[in-house]
């Protein structure tokens, strides 16, 4: 747990559990524990789900940069070819007013 969270987040979690135990009211234990359980499960689902999403984004950063560089390189070569060679790209022959 300490590999992913620092001491402050651990202290905040412990303080939250202490405040929950202090705020328990007699006769409503089952309801309060059920609400606390669903709150913890929901928070864990959000945190772990987002953590997995961040891990997958971090591991796929190479493919994002690769596809971005392919598009940039294609546009650069298309610009050079259409500017310095007699061939024109079909996309560059489109009328800008007609594409709006």
Residue 100 lies in a domain: no
Residue 46 lies in a domain: yes
- 13-72 pLDDT, tens digit per residue, is 889 888 988 888 888 888 988 988 898 888 888 877 777 777 777 777 778 788 889 889
Query: What is the spatial distance between Cα 18 and Cα 13, in angstroms, rounded to a whole number?
Result: 9
Residue 25 lies in a domain: yes
Q: How many domains does the chain have?
A: 1
Q: What is the pTM of this model?
A: 0.43
Q: Which domain holds residue 81?
A: 7-88
Of the candidates 99, 67, 74, the one whose C-alpha atom is nearest the C-alpha of residue 89 is: 74
Residue 94 lies in a domain: no
DSSP of the chain: -TTTS-HHHHHHHHHHHHHHHHT--TT-HHHHHHHHHHHHHHHHHHHHHHHHHHHHHHHTHHHHHHHHHHHHHHHHHHHHHHHHSS---TGGGS-TTTT-
């Amino acid at each position: 747990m300490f590999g992913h969270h620092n001491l402050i987040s651990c202290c905040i979690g412990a303080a939250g559990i202490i405040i929950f135990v202090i705020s328990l009211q007699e006769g409503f234990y089952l309801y309060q524990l059920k609400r606390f359980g669903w709150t913890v499960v929901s928070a864990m689902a959000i945190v772990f789900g987002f953590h997995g999403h961040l891990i997958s984004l971090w591991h796929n950063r190479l493919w994002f940069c690769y596809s971005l560089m392919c598009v940039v390189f294609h546009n650069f070569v298309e610009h050079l070819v259409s500017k310095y060679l007699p061939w024109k790209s079909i996309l560059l022959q489109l009328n800008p007013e007609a594409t709006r």
